[in-house]
């Protein structure tokens, strides 16, 4: 049967105390609403409707996913009213799953189960047992444990308030039946809202089957109303990801100090030390070690690399057996061949570093092509920018660049050439040559340093 998902995202979220609509607040760097949408896609939903209201334009311009059909709820008159806005779009012969833009961690497996237990023309409902059910709608069952309805906190009597089984709000229903039930909702209740939960009562009174499932993890059905809850779900998300990685053979020195904001593909025996942030699409090959406080963004780290602490790698390809850092910054467009070394306080941008080449200390390498077995001395700078355009520096195999050299691009240093320390290179250097641009050293014997004047004078 066709699967249509309705994601409710019209609520205001006042308690976030934010100018940003609630569903755009991020978990692991991604808007909460996008998390829910991605989960819908993993379920291969045929339609994804998002009911928007407050901050709608901002939501639509941020979530540009083409697969979404936007439905406006101009006034927030309750969850039932919100779902009803989609009624005209719903096929009779579809299964309708209702989700929430502020319940971001709902998992594919839980929803898959909810859909698979779905009774024809009935409802499947995700419920949860809570030690403290305060605030939630309570699941009312008869003495045969058949679900009879849901009663909201504000409408519940003393007996009903004792019920610990609560409504998560997530449910699936048949399209045709759901539309009929929605049409019959009234707002005659404590909050004068159109409650989606009344649909359960209608189904029960018609003798329809109502089956329930529970989430595997409590965090899956937790919603975000304030920034504390946002932080708490961020941690829950991170610990799930950390556990997956550890199960896959990655050592995390402390899973509570690991952050994944994107996708990490890690081969076996990768070791990740504390406080590392992984962003975008990152691949770490087997045996690599990532030291403390590193930030890896959209990059590949090759086999057996050692990335020492506080190193940033973004948009780069790093080959096998390389050493990076501590405190190195590898910027987009960089490619490091096997066994190359970029050491402390070295910045590399849009450059290729040949195998076995080293820049171990305090250098800037930008727009450069560095061959094999090149040594770049401390303090070397490629002067790649003339204020208007960027120029290329080429350093061929086996060249030796002495410390504190400026390479004024465009310039080529030939194979095996040696540039003496402290040189400013403005012209190409031939292969195997020694090039130096130093001023001759002068000496003045018996030099008298100036002395301080005494205060009395």
Q: What is the contact surface with ligand UD1 in residues (CB under 6 A)? A: 8-11, 51, 73, 76-79, 81-82, 100-102, 136-137, 150, 152, 166-169, 195-197, 223
Give the number of other Cβ atoms within 10 Å of residue 452's Cβ: 5
Least distance (Å) from ligand UD1 to the CB of residue 229? 11
* 61: enclosing H helix or E strand: helix 56-62
Least distance (Å) from ligand UD1 to the CB of residue 256? 27
Question: Closest CB to ligand UD1 among 10 and 294?
Answer: 10
Environment class of 421 (CB within 10 Å of its CB; exposed 0-12, middle 13-18, buried 19+): middle
- Tell me if residue 56 falls in helix, strand or coil: helix
Question: Closest CB to ligand UD1 among 197 and 337?
Answer: 197
Question: Closest CB to ligand UD1 among 12 and 428?
Answer: 12
Question: Closest CB to ligand UD1 among 122 and 133?
Answer: 133
Contact status, residue 327 vs residue 311, Cβ threshold 8 Å? yes
Exposure of 56 in the CB half-sphere (CA atoms within 13 A)? 15
* 283: enclosing H helix or E strand: strand 276-284
Rounded distance, CA 304 to CA 414, Å? Answer: 31
Least distance (Å) from ligand UD1 to the CB of residue 67? 20
Question: Closest CB to ligand UD1 among 197 and 334?
Answer: 197
Least distance (Å) from ligand UD1 to the CB of residue 139? 9
Question: Closest CB to ligand UD1 among 166 and 230?
Answer: 166
With tokens 């519940």, the residue in question is 156
Question: Closest CB to ligand UD1 among 225 and 437?
Answer: 225
Whole-Å CA distances, 155 to 4, 138, 443? 31, 10, 96
Least distance (Å) from ligand UD1 to the CB of residue 30? 17
Least distance (Å) from ligand UD1 to the CB of residue 19? 17
Question: Closest CB to ligand UD1 among 215 and 354?
Answer: 215
Contact status, residue 130 vs residue 138, Cβ threshold 8 Å? no
Contact status, residue 333 vs residue 316, Cβ threshold 8 Å? yes
Q: What residues form DSSP beta bridges with 150?
A: 139
Least distance (Å) from ligand UD1 to the CB of residue 301? 39
* Sequence-separated (6 or more) residues with CB below 8 Å from residue 382: 364, 365, 366, 367, 368, 393, 407, 409
* 357: enclosing H helix or E strand: none
How long a stretch of residues is the chain? 457
Exposure of 123 in the CB half-sphere (CA atoms within 13 A)? 30
Rounded distance, CA 291 to CA 307, Å? Answer: 6
CA dihedral 22, 28, 31, 34 (to 10 degrees): -130
End-to-end CA distance of the chain: 101
Least distance (Å) from ligand UD1 to the CB of residue 360? 54
**Closest to 28 (Cα-Cα) out of 372, 352, 258, 334:** 258
Whole-Å CA distances, 432 to 192, 279, 388? 87, 43, 33
Query: Catalytic positions, please?
Result: 361
């Amino acid at each position: 049967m066709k699967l249509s998902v309705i994601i409710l995202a019209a609520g205001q979220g006042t308690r976030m105390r934010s100018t940003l609509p609630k569903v755009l607040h991020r978990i692991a760097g991604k808007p909460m609403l996008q998390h829910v949408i991605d989960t819908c896609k993993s379920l291969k939903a045929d339609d994804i409707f998002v009911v928007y209201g407050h901050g709608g334009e901002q939501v639509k311009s941020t979530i540009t996913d083409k697969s979404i059909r936007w439905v406006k709820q101009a006034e927030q008159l309750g969850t039932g009213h919100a779902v009803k806005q989609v009624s005209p779009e719903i096929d009779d012969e579809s299964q309708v799953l209702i989700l929430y833009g502020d319940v971001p961690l709902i998992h594919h497996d839980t929803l898959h189960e909810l859909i698979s237990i779905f009774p024809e023309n009935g409802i499947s409902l995700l419920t949860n047992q809570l030690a403290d059910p305060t605030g939630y709608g309570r699941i009312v069952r008869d003495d045969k444990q058949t679900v009879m309805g849901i009663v909201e906190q504000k409408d519940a009597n003393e007996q009903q308030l004792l019920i610990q089984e609560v409504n998560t709000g997530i449910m699936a229903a048949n399209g045709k039946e759901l539309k009929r039930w929605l049409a019959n909702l009234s707002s005659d209740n404590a909050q004068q809202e159109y409650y989606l939960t009344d649909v359960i009562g209608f189904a029960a009174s018609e003798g329809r089957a109502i089956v329930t499932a529970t989430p595997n993890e409590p965090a899956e059905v937790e919603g975000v109303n304030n920034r504390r809850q946002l932080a708490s779900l961020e941690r829950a998300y991170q610990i799930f990801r950390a556990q997956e990685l550890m199960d896959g053979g990655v050592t995390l020195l402390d899973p509570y100090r690991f952050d994944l904001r994107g996708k990490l593909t890690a081969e076996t025996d990768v070791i990740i030390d504390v406080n590392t942030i992984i962003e975008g699409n990152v691949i770490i090959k087997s045996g690599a070690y990532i030291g403390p406080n590193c930030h890896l963004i959209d990059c590949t780290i090759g086999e057996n690399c050692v990335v020492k602490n506080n190193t940033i790698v973004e948009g780069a390809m790093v080959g096998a057996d390389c050493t990076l850092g501590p405190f190195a910054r590898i910027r987009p467009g960089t490619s490091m061949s096997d066994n190359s070394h970029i050491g402390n306080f070295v910045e590399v941008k849009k450059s290729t570093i040949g195998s076995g080449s080293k820049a171990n200390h305090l250098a800037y390498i930008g727009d450069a092509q560095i061959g094999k077995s090149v040594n770049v001395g401390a303090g070397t700078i490629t002067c790649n920018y003339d204020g208007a355009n960027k120029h290329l520096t080429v350093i061929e195999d086996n060249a030796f660049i002495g410390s504190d050299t400026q390479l004024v691009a465009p310039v080529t240093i030939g194979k095996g050439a040696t540039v003496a320390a402290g040189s400013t290179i403005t012209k190409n250097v031939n292969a195997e040559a020694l090039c130096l641009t130093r001023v001759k050293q002068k000496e003045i014997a018996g030099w008298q340093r100036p002395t301080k004047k005494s205060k009395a004078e």
